[in-house]
Structure 1
Amino acid sequence: MTDFSKMHTDKLYLNGQWQPSRGGDLHAVINPATEEEICKVVQGTAEDVDIAVAAAREAFKTWRNTSAAERRDYLHAIADAMEARKEDLIDAVSRALGCPPHISEWLHVDGPIYAVRYYADRAQLMEKTEKAAHSLVLREPVGVCGFITPWNYPLHQFVGKVAPALAAGCTMITKPSEMTPLQDYVMAEIIDSVGLPAGVFNLLPGAGPIVGAALSAHPDIDMVSFTGSTRAGIEVARAAAPTVKRVTQELGGKSPLIITPDADLETAVRWGCEDVFINSGQTCTALTRMLVPADHYEEAVEIARRVAEEISLGTGPDDFMGPLSSARQRDIVRGYIEKGIAEGARLVTGGAEQPEGFSKGFYVKPTVFADVTNDMTIAREEIFGPVTCMIPYRDMDEAIAIANDTEYGLSSGVWAKDAESALPVVRRIEAGLCFVNGGEFNYDAPFGGYKRSGNGREFGDAGLDEFIELKSVQLPA
């Protein structure tokens, strides 16, 4: 087991060196399965932000001019080191977030390693020159970037920002969540070990209202990329507006899964429930509103009940669902469950009580609600816990109307007889992502939402585009 207290967690990584914070405050990182302290992590200050930004600004002068081949080699070296320290990365995510290690490996670590290699091989796109009549179109890096990453998929979102930024030739300051900062320390040690030039990458943990706000407003930061709640995303955009910096946001979701009348009901409902319960429901793309044909509704409810009651809680090798990330998050989810009952939804299984056999840990029972209407709080607000809401529909027009009746548009799902049958339904859903018949997340494709789920895209070539400025060069005709 990794001893994170020996991994510079009392320091910031600024300008290629481990340095003390100008404030010196420490924040305890808690294991949500045991409620015990893992270690303490230093908290940065606004003064630290100024120092980090100055280092990144200076480094950008030369880093932006490195060859694509050089940046490619650095990224492959980082991926190689991630492979070598894979157990440390799994341990970092699993212990701070509570996700069982055997699930953390494929859900939280394998994909990010792939994504680093993906962007290594796309660094060469920065040297691509296009001809447009008598003009040339050149690609240049956007500049110094501030990254604010979430606690629920911390390594995934770290890589989704850092890897394309490095490939593009940007420099950066990253701020992890106070709850799950440990994988960022592993990554900082990896980045230091491969010899990335000083100032290109800077790690600055700290509180959102202090470090996050300072990054968002800083006049020498050219772009800020934020993943988190819609409420916090609005504050980031507001702080960034006076300096007209580029802002990308991946925010909340309340995503529908439409099960069509010709679908394999058992398979579809099981997959839909497990999609919500994985990572303890703390997934922005979770398909938390399950829309089922009215004729098959009670059968689907019974399948969902059975699936939820089969879920094994804990962090062992045979367990599927760990605790919520914190006592606060557990209490929020329990409050939503109580709200659902109070508003008249039928509690099929689960509930707000502490699961039996768990005297410690921030656990919540896998919960299924039936007889949910789309105006209920549990159908409109992002719960971020293992709670699925089952809603009947009479025909496909009504299903689409329910699916789109939300301020969010991050994710969606369709389960039909086959993929070809699903696509006409997919085209009518207002969301940036759609899972068809259990299709898996794809790092080669763009990820991002419509409406209040944010703007901009991560992963795929579109993820690199977010870090590019296009220069149009007008040549003599």
Structure 2
Amino acid sequence: MKFKQSEVMKTINHHYINGQFVQSKGKELLDLINPSNKMVIGQLTLGNEEDARDAIKAAKEAFKSWSKTSIEERSMYLQRLSDAILARMEEHLEVMMEEYGGRPIGVAKFSVQGAANAYLAAKSLLGEIEFFKDFSGATVTQKPLGVAALITPWNQDIFGMSIKIAPAIAAGCTVVIKPSELSGLQTQVFMECIDAAKLPAGVINICERSRHCGGE
């Protein structure tokens, strides 16, 4: 089936890896369709295995230092992420309506607010979790394990990513995210929020729309 192109169509050909927007090494193109009117509203370049490996490599390298950050440092970045998302509320709502073909505005706002709140909830929990516990003279230490691989669905893009990212980075892990390739416009605004929060390079990597998230 051939879809009619919207007058204003956005093109996305990059991923967010190691704290930067980087050109996709993949070449496969995908049209984004507004399901309510069948209009092509965007086109994106799908990532390939090499893009995924770059994201994993960046996350592994960043883990070396991120895993050693203090609770205070991680709390600061969680707050920044929440603030960055709320600062772009109207844009989140706009692209959400486009890619979902409409959605009750209350539900859309709840999704964005819920995404921002996920980081605040993780920040709050950091003040409650006991990372060091004494048992009969021995000390048990809870430590981050490494890189978290996260996959999220089309119908909960920003919320789905945030509820997985927040606890992972709060625990001291770094992440590689594979969001749905059908949520490309929403993911683009979200990536810009991540960049605005200015986390250390490699802590959050988005190999967006890659169908090959295998790797090391």
Q: Is the shorter-chain TM-score for this pair beyond 0.5, marking a shared fold?
A: yes
Q: Aligned partners of 1:121 and 1:184: how far apart in 2?
A: 26
Structure 1 residue 26: deviation in Å?
Answer: 2.2
- Describe the superposition over 1:341-380 as per-residue Cα deviations: whole angstroms up to 9, x where unpaired: xxxxxxxxxxxxxxxxxxxxxxxxxxxxxxxxxxxxxxxx
2:53 equivalent in structure 1 = 50
2:202 equivalent in structure 1 = 199
Q: Aligned partners of 1:189 and 1:135: how far apart in 2?
A: 45
2:153 equivalent in structure 1 = 150
Q: Aligned partners of 1:4 and 1:127: how far apart in 2?
A: 49
- Contact 2:146–2:173 under 8 Å retained in 1: yes
Which of 24, 29, 41 is 1:26 aligned to? 29
Q: Aligned partners of 1:29 and 1:83: how far apart in 2?
A: 25
2:4 equivalent in structure 1 = none
Which of 6, 13, 16 is 1:10 aligned to? 13
2:96 equivalent in structure 1 = 93
Which of 36, 41, 44 is 1:41 aligned to? 44
Residue correspondence of structure 1 range 168-317 to structure 2 within 5 A = 168-208=171-211, 210-211=212-213, 214=214, 218-219=215-216
- Describe the superposition over 1:383-413 as per-residue Cα deviations: whole angstroms up to 9, x where unpaired: xxxxxxxxxxxxxxxxxxxxxxxxxxxxxxx
- Contact 1:42–1:205 under 8 Å retained in 2: no
Which of 82, 87, 90 is 1:84 aligned to? 87
2:71 equivalent in structure 1 = 68
The answer for unaligned runs of 5 or more in structure 2 is 1-7
Q: Aligned partners of 1:174 and 1:71: how far apart in 2?
A: 19
- DSSP 3-state at the match of 2:198: coil
Structure 1 residue 72: deviation in Å?
Answer: 0.7
Structure 1 residue 92: deviation in Å?
Answer: 2.3
| Rg larger for | 1
Q: Aligned partners of 1:91 and 1:25: how far apart in 2?
A: 26
Q: Aligned partners of 1:139 and 1:18: how far apart in 2?
A: 33
1:117 equivalent in structure 2 = 120
Q: TM-score with structure 1 length normalisation? A: 0.42
Q: TM-score with structure 2 length normalisation? A: 0.89
- DSSP 3-state at the match of 1:122: helix
Q: Aligned partners of 1:200 and 1:58: how far apart in 2?
A: 9
Q: Structure 1 residues 128, 78: closer, same or farther in 2, change over 3 A?
A: same
- DSSP 3-state at the match of 1:38: strand
Q: Aligned partners of 2:10 and 2:129: how far apart in 1?
A: 39
Q: Which has the higher contact order (CA 8 A, sep 6+)?
A: 2
Q: Aligned partners of 2:87 and 2:66: how far apart in 1?
A: 26
- Describe the superposition over 1:252-288 as per-residue Cα deviations: whole angstroms up to 9, x where unpaired: xxxxxxxxxxxxxxxxxxxxxxxxxxxxxxxxxxxxx
More helix by share: 2
Q: Structure 1 residues 4, 113: closer, same or farther in 2, change over 3 A?
A: farther
Q: Aligned partners of 2:9 and 2:146: how far apart in 1?
A: 32
Structure 1 residue 147: deviation in Å?
Answer: 0.8
Structure 1 residue 58: deviation in Å?
Answer: 0.4
- Contact 1:78–1:191 under 8 Å retained in 2: yes
Instruction: Count residues in correspondence.
Output: 209
- Contact 1:15–1:202 under 8 Å retained in 2: yes
Structure 1 residue 4: deviation in Å?
Answer: 7.6
The answer for unaligned runs of 5 or more in structure 1 is 220-477
Structure 1 residue 43: deviation in Å?
Answer: 0.7
Q: Aligned partners of 2:178 and 2:128: how far apart in 1?
A: 27
Task: Give the letter for the 2:141 counterpart.
Answer: L
C-alpha RMSD of the superposition: 1.9
Q: Structure 1 residues 148, 165: closer, same or farther in 2, change over 3 A?
A: same
- Describe the superposition over 1:126-177 as per-residue Cα deviations: whole angstroms up to 9, x where unpaired: 6632122222121111210111100122222111111111111111111111
- Contact 1:94–1:104 under 8 Å retained in 2: no
Q: Aligned partners of 1:181 and 1:109: how far apart in 2?
A: 16
Q: Aligned partners of 1:97 and 1:80: how far apart in 2?
A: 25
